[in-house]
């Protein structure tokens, strides 16, 4: 088992820089996830590391072997670096059966791997399909065949490019669990690329968030979710409410309350991001649950329109059920006299009628203050 | 593959004997005028028949529609010169039609009645239209089928009747495809030699042969050829331009069952007639006449000579087909592996040959090969005192080279399209699974492309069988293929004896037509999208 080192990799297409000086390390048995929107350079990085693109700047090592070096124009072709790659579209060979597909990368001279294939086909629930052609399989089955095909030659490093995006939502969670179990069993160093934050959180030991060709944050899923490095990362993990204010006395005053900003300069214009699920609501007259560490809410000033909310309540615009949660939109008065719409995601069913009044609480752990330039 | 073109231009620009002014004074204007008239006539004819029949069979329902669907392609199997021979044979003074007319009306001789002159520009236009309209039909039909029905339905709900919808929506949407079809037909028109020679129509291609063989002036022929090349380059440019426009014409990707306007009574009869006449005249008539002659005269024609022509033809065509597919795969896979702009440009250049008339290519091949042979001959005489003779230019190698230069585009295009259907991720998968480029080609691409490679080979094979002008110039002395044999016998008014040969060519030509109709049915939108190719 080997580790993967990508050092200071930069790559451009037709003069447009796509990846700008990114370093990635994946230890044996570790699953590292590159997370970012499309066009952030994550797939390019994966393709360079797998050898499908010729490196331009930087270095790639698998274990102790240098397989790519931009400085010396060293490039080991993909067929000689012992990597496995599973593509987003699976790229199964349509003219070969399931078994032939999985066995494509190994020679007849390795009987123990042939046995491994037989066992793996059975364990992954494909035993009835060994002699079927890929187009007769369901999406989930194709995904498993592609994964086994990539793992069959015992690769040093495994690359997964959006491995679950082709599956419908209901199948995804089972396939994810199955995949993760298989990866744990083999103990291969895995680099996974995705744009789905939930997938990244579920699969990864570490998440590298990429944007515009840079790694903007490197941390565990919990760190990345609760301590986002900037507004982009916070935004990536789900919709947020954005308010702005100026830092005074190490905190930012907003219509929704006061938020601590210990690291920002006095007078700095700042942006406050509050996750939808970071807002708690209660029907007028009751108080929302309050927990230690909540941001201090100041009393709300009166709104312009009837029914007149009193000093601590806000007017509901709409409330929609989402199944496991409810999405409540309410108005708060902005600085310029216009109302600002705030969206809150409340667990369970919470559907106050439009124009009714609610009082709120804000979870400080789910709100973040960043300086704006 | 670009050598022939460069040779023609170089040779034309460095004339050994100055006949520019002579050419200009005598025949150039005539050639230009005739060629343009022919192109305009054929262009208009193929547009009318091709688009009209395509609309009828895709959008209307009438008895026999599904037969016409593919039967309208059949004339593609008939080389223009074969139709010309048959038409003349039937319509000239001693032909069946005039004989019957004289019998019926009791006319005694030519002075008693008027009958159009068969060997004329008009006939050439009609003959070429009849065999070339399937190009337009094929592409227009595909375009109509691809059009989202929603677009047409929107037009109907906005108050347009079917005819107005066709005129204001369907036709403009299909315009790029129709333009490409017309241009392809025009390229064939310019290439044609057999018909214009037989009808004594003075086009450029006719002129090239005339200047070369009768005036014995190579440079004169090269000069004419390079002017003709200008015509062709305009056509190629127009085709590229039209293809560029095509990309923007898919407005909606939703397909439902195609709507059909049920035609009844007179209208249905009209539709049947409109579809039947081109098929009858373009295929059934020539094939029937040839078949009856072939049956009647098989004793005289089914001789050892016939079989030697068939063997010559098959050898040339199959060697060329195999080479063309091999080179096509080599180029297309090369471009896929290493998409450098230079390689792309080279393949683009190499594949332009299809647009270039065979006569031009032939001249472009004879000139450099002749020079090469003379050089080799001189060298060997100097060194060994032995004359090598004409090693290349007088042999079948020259013909195969010519076929390759002309038809490589066909195989390359087919291979490229087939290769494009294999996603790059497949290559990536094979590569990361330890297969180098060569092994990937053998284990992945070739098996997946097998069907298309067969098609490519077959297309080249049949086109080589039909090709006349190039073969005529490049063949070794006394070496006959079916096409040259038919041409010579028919020119000598011995169509009966050439019938079997002509029928063989037409028969071979039907094969790709069948392939085409199968692929058309398969690719129809509105059906379930084709999954990955299933192995046969």
Last residue of a domain, one of B273, B293, B313: B293
CA-to-CA distance for B488 and B504, rounded, in angstroms? Answer: 16
When mean pLDDT is compared across A115-119, B183-187, B211-215, B435-439, the lowest value belongs to B211-215
Q: Across residues B3-30, what is the average pLDDT? A: 65
pLDDT on residue B423: 85
Of A50, A92, A133, the CB nearest to B534: A133
pLDDT on residue A190: 95
Residue B457 CB neighbours (<10 A): 23
pLDDT on residue B251: 46
Give A340→chain B minimum CA distance, Å: 38
**Inside any domain, residue B18:** no
Of B530, B422, B339, nearest in space to A89 by CA:
B422
B354-375 pLDDT per residue, tens: 777 888 888 888 777 777 777 7
Give B128→chain A minimum CA distance, Å: 43
B429 CB neighbours in chain A (<8 A) are 85, 87, 91-93, 149
Report in angstroms the alpha-carbon separations of B208 from B8, B105, B196. Answer: 12, 44, 12
Among B339, B421, B423, B434, most A C-beta atoms within 10 A, so best to mutate, is B434
DSSP string spanning A147-183?
Answer: HHHHHTT--SEEEEESTTTTS-HHHHHHHHHHHHHHH
Of B435, B444, B531, the CB nearest to A79: B435
Contact yes or no for B435 and A91 at CB 8 A: no
Instruction: Please check whether residues B305 and B278 belong to one and the same domain.
Output: no
pLDDT on residue A8: 93
Instruction: Please check whether residues B208 and B327 belong to one and the same domain.
Output: no
Range among B23-27, B132-136, B264-268, B512-516 with highest mean pLDDT value:
B132-136
Instruction: Please check whether residues B340 and B241 belong to one and the same domain.
Output: no
pLDDT on residue A303: 41
Last residue of a domain, one of B271, B293, B315: B293
pLDDT on residue B424: 86
pLDDT on residue B408: 85
Beta-bridge mates of residue A160? A86, A192
pLDDT on residue B526: 40
**Inside any domain, residue B462:** yes
B273-318 pLDDT per residue, tens: 888 888 888 888 888 888 888 888 777 777 777 888 888 888 899 9
**Inside any domain, residue B417:** yes
Give the count of alpha carbons within 13 A of B166, CB side only: 14
**Inside any domain, residue B521:** no
Torsion of CA B507, B508, B512, B515, to 10 degrees: 70
> Helix, strand or coil for residue B108?
coil
| Cβ contacts of A129 within 8 Å, gap of 6 or more | A98, A121, A136, A137, A141
CA-to-CA distance for B334 and B353, rounded, in angstroms? Answer: 19
Q: Sort residue A35 into left (φ over 0), alpha (ψ -120 to 50) or beta.
A: beta
B532 vs A168, higher pLDDT = A168
Give A29→chain B minimum CA distance, Å: 20
pLDDT on residue B249: 47
B533 CB neighbours in chain A (<8 A) are 94-95
- Find, in chain B, the residue whose alpha carbon is nearest to that of A89: B425
Last residue of a domain, one of B241, B269, B293: B293
pLDDT on residue B159: 66
Q: Is the pLDDT of residue B258 over 70?
A: no
| Domain locations in chain A as residue ranges | 4-235, 240-371
Whether the CB-CB separation of A210 and A42 falls below 8 Å is answered with: yes
Give A78→chain B minimum CA distance, Å: 5
Interface confidence (ipTM) of the complex: 0.76
Task: Provide the token pair at B503.
Answer: 């029928």
B100 vs B256, higher pLDDT = B100
Q: What is the CATH number of the domain that holds B276?
A: 1.10.3720.10
Beta-bridge mates of residue A193? A34, A161
**Inside any domain, residue B13:** no
Backbone angles phi, psi at A130, to 5 degrees: -55, -35
pLDDT on residue B142: 78
Q: Is the pLDDT of residue B23 over 70?
A: no
Of B428, B436, B532, the CB nearest to A135: B532
Give A163→chain B minimum CA distance, Å: 13
**Inside any domain, residue B528:** no
Instruction: Please check whether residues B462 and B344 belong to one and the same domain.
Output: yes
Residue B117 CB neighbours (<10 A): 11
Torsion of CA B134, B139, B142, B146, to 10 degrees: -160
Of A79, A82, A134, the CB nearest to B431: A79
When mean pLDDT is compared across B34-38, B43-47, B345-349, B452-456, the lowest value belongs to B345-349
Contact yes or no for A87 and B444 at CB 8 A: no
Contact yes or no for A91 and B432 at CB 8 A: no
Give contacts of A 141-160 with B, CB under 8 A.
149-150, 153, 155, 159
CA-to-CA distance for A173 and A178, rounded, in angstroms? Answer: 9
- Chains A and B form CB pairs within 8 A to the count of 79
Instruction: Please check whether residues B371 and B270 belong to one and the same domain.
Output: no
A94 CB neighbours in chain B (<8 A) are 448, 531-535
A133 CB neighbours in chain B (<8 A) are 532, 534-535
Identify the band that residue B346 occupies on the pLDDT scale cut at 50, 70 and 90.
confident
User: Which runs of consecutive H residues, i.e. helices, occur in B385-434?
Assistant: 396-420, 424-432
pLDDT on residue A191: 95
Give me chain B's average pLDDT, please: 78
Of A367, A370, A228, nearest in space to A296 by CA:
A367
**Count of domains observed in chain B:** 2
Identify the band that residue B26 occupies on the pLDDT scale cut at 50, 70 and 90.
low
Instruction: Please check whether residues B303 and B406 belong to one and the same domain.
Output: yes
Contact yes or no for A50 and B448 at CB 8 A: no
| A315–chain B Cβ distance below 8 A for any pair | no
Give B332→chain A minimum CA distance, Å: 19
Whether the CB-CB separation of B2 and B350 falls below 8 Å is answered with: yes
B535 CB neighbours in chain A (<8 A) are 94-95, 133
Instruction: Please check whether residues B301 and B285 belong to one and the same domain.
Output: no
Q: Across residues B414-430, what is the average pLDDT? A: 86
Give B345→chain A minimum CA distance, Å: 18
Instruction: Please check whether residues B276 and B307 belong to one and the same domain.
Output: no
Give A93→chain B minimum CA distance, Å: 7
Task: Provide the token pair at B258.
Answer: 């195609």
Instruction: Please check whether residues B284 and B310 belong to one and the same domain.
Output: no
Task: Provide the token pair at B160.
Answer: 């347009």
A84 CB neighbours in chain B (<8 A) are 432-433
- Find, in chain B, the residue whose alpha carbon is nearest to that of A91: B426
| A78–chain B Cβ distance below 8 A for any pair | yes
CA-to-CA distance for B80 and B15, rounded, in angstroms? Answer: 33
Q: Across residues B347-351, what is the average pLDDT? A: 69
Q: Across residues B130-136, what is the average pLDDT? A: 89
Containing domain of residue B201, as a range? 29-293
Instruction: Please check whether residues B369 and B452 belong to one and the same domain.
Output: yes
pLDDT on residue A308: 42
**Inside any domain, residue B261:** yes
Q: Is the pLDDT of residue B533 over 50?
A: no
Instruction: Please check whether residues B256 and B344 belong to one and the same domain.
Output: no
CA-to-CA distance for A245 and A254, rounded, in angstroms? Answer: 6
Residue range A4-235, CATH number: 3.40.50.300
Q: Is the pLDDT of residue B150 over 80?
A: no
Q: Which residues of chain A have pLDDT under 50?
A: 299-311
Range among A73-77, B30-34, B261-265, B353-357 with highest mean pLDDT value:
A73-77
| A134–chain B Cβ distance below 8 A for any pair | yes
Instruction: Please check whether residues B343 and B376 belong to one and the same domain.
Output: yes
A47 CB neighbours in chain B (<8 A) are 428
Whether the CB-CB separation of B414 and B329 falls below 8 Å is answered with: no
């Amino acid at each position: 088992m080997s580790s993967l080192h990508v050092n200071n990799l930069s790559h451009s297409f037709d003069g447009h820089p796509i990846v700008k000086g990114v370093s990635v390390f994946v230890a044996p048995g570790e699953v590292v996830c590159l997370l970012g929107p499309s066009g952030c350079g994550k797939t390019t990085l994966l393709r360079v590391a797998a050898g499908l693109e010729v490196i331009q700047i930087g270095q790639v090592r698998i274990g102790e072997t240098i397989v790519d070096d931009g400085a010396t124009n060293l490039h080991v072709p993909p067929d000689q670096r012992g990597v496995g790659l599973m593509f987003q579209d699976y790229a199964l060979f349509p003219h070969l059966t399931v078994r032939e597909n999985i066995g494509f990368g190994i020679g007849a001279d390795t009987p123990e791997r042939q046995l491994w294939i037989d066992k793996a086909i059975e364990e992954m629930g494909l035993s009835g399909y060994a002699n079927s052609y890929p187009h007769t399989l369901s999406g989930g089955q194709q995904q498993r065949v592609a994964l086994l095909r990539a793992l069959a030659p015992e690769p040093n490093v495994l690359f997964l490019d959006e491995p679950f995006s082709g599956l419908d939502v209901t199948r995804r969670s089972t396939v994810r669990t199955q995949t993760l179990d298989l990866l744990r069993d083999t103990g291969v160093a895995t680099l996974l690329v995705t744009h789905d934050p939930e997938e990244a959180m579920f699969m990864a030991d570490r998440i590298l968030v990429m944007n515009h060709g840079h790694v903007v944050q490197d941390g565990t899923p919990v760190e990345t979710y609760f301590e986002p490095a900037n507004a982009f990362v916070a935004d990536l993990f789900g919709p947020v409410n954005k308010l702005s204010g100026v830092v005074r006395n190490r905190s930012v005053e907003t219509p929704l309350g006061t938020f601590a900003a210990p690291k920002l300069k006095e007078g700095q214009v700042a942006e406050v991001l509050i996750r939808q699920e970071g807002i708690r609501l209660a029907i007028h007259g009751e108080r929302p649950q309050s927990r230690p560490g909540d941001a201090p809410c100041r009393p709300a000033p009166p709104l312009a329109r009837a029914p007149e909310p009193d000093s601590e309540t806000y007017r509901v615009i709409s409330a929609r059920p989402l199944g496991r949660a409810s999405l409540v939109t309410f108005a708060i008065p902005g600085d310029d006299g216009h109302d600002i719409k705030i969206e809150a995601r409340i667990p369970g069913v919470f559907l106050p009628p439009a124009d009714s009044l609610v009082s709120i609480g804000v979870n400080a752990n789910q709100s973040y203050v960043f300086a704006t330039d | 593959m670009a050598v022939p073109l460069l040779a023609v231009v170089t040779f034309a620009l460095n004339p050994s004997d100055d006949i520019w002014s002579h050419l200009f004074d005598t025949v150039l204007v005539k050639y230009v005028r005739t060629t343009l008239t022919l192109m305009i006539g054929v262009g208009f004819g193929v547009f009318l028949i091709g688009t009209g029949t395509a609309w009828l069979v895709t959008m209307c329902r009438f008895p026999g529609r599904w037969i016409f669907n593919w039967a309208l392609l059949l004339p593609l199997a008939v080389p223009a010169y074969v139709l010309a021979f048959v038409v003349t044979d039937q319509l000239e003074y001693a032909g069946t039609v005039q004989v019957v007319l004289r019998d019926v009306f009791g006319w005694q001789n030519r002075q008693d009645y008027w009958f159009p002159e068969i060997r004329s520009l008009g006939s050439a236009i009609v003959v070429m239209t009849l065999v070339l309209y399937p190009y337009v039909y094929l592409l227009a039909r595909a375009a109509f089928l691809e059009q989202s029905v929603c677009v047409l339905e929107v037009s109907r709900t906005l108050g347009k009747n079917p005819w107005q919808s066709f005129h204001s929506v369907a036709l403009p949407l299909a315009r790029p495809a129709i333009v490409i079809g017309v241009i392809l037909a025009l390229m064939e028109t310019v290439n044609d030699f057999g018909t214009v020679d037989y009808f004594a129509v003075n086009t450029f291609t006719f002129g090239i042969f005339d200047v070369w063989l009768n005036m014995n002036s190579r440079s004169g022929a090269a000069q004419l050829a390079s002017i003709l090349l200008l015509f062709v380059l305009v056509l190629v440019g127009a085709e590229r331009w039209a293809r560029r426009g095509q990309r923007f014409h898919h407005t909606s990707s939703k397909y439902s069952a195609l709507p059909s306007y049920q035609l009844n009574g007179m209208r249905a009869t009209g539709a049947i007639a409109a579809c039947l006449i081109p098929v009858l005249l373009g295929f059934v008539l020539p094939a029937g006449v040839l078949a009856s002659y072939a049956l009647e005269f098989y004793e005289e024609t089914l001789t050892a000579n016939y079989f030697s022509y068939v063997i010559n033809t098959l050898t040339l065509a199959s060697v060329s087909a195999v080479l063309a597919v091999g080179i096509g795969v080599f180029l297309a896979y090369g471009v896929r592996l290493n998409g450098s702009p230079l390689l792309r440009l080279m393949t683009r250049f190499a594949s332009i040959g299809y647009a270039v008339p065979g006569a031009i290519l032939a001249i472009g091949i004879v000139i450099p090969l002749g020079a090469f042979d003379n050089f080799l001959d001189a060298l060997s005489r100097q060194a060994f005192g032995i004359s090598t003779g004409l090693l290349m230019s007088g042999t079948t190698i020259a013909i195969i080279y010519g076929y390759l230069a002309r038809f490589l585009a066909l195989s390359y295009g087919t291979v490229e399209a087939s290769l494009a259907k294999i996603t790059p991720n497949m290559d990536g998968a094979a590569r990361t699974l330890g297969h180098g480029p060569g092994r990937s080609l053998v284990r992945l691409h070739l098996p997946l492309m097998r069907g298309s490679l067969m098609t490519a080979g077959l297309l080249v094979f049949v086109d080589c069988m039909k090709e006349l002008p190039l073969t005529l110039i490049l063949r070794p002395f006394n070496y006959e293929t079916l096409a040259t044999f038919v041409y010579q016998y028919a020119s000598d008014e011995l169509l009966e004896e050439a019938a079997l040969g002509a029928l063989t060519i037409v028969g071979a030509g039907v094969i790709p037509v069948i392939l085409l109709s199968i692929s058309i049915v398969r690719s129809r939108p509105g059906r379930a999208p084709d999954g990955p190719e299933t192995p046969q």
